[in-house]
């Protein structure tokens, strides 16, 4: 149950970061996404097959002052 609660927390931070970016609040988006990624990396220690690429991708977008649009990952990949 605790692992699930932690997953929900960093997923919530990820969603919040996306919302910040959509509003043009990129400093908040970067900070929040970095927190989500840090927590996701901690979870990966217990779940090695967990894929962090989406979290990393969104952080890179926000650092470039770009919002994330679901489904466009392949089109927007650097």
User: 10 Å Cβ neighbour count for 40?
Assistant: 23
In this prediction, residue 18 carries a pLDDT of 95
> Which residue in 44, 48, 45, 35 sits closest to 9, CA to CA?
35
In this prediction, residue 53 carries a pLDDT of 94
* Burial (Cβ within 10 Å: 0-12, 13-18, ≥19) of residue 19: middle
In this prediction, residue 5 carries a pLDDT of 44
> If the chain, 78 residues long, is cut into consecutive pieces of 10 residues, what is the mean pLDDT of each piece?
55 95 97 96 92 95 93 54
């Amino acid at each position: 149950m605790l692992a699930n609660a932690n997953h929900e927390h960093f997923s919530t931070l990820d969603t919040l970061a996306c919302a910040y970016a959509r509003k043009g609040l990129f400093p908040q988006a970067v900070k929040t996404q970095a927190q989500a990624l840090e927590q996701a990396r901690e979870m990966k220690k217990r779940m090695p097959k967990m894929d962090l690429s989406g979290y990393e991708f969104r952080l890179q977008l926000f650092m470039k002052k770009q919002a994330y649009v679901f489904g466009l990952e392949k089109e927007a990949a650097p």
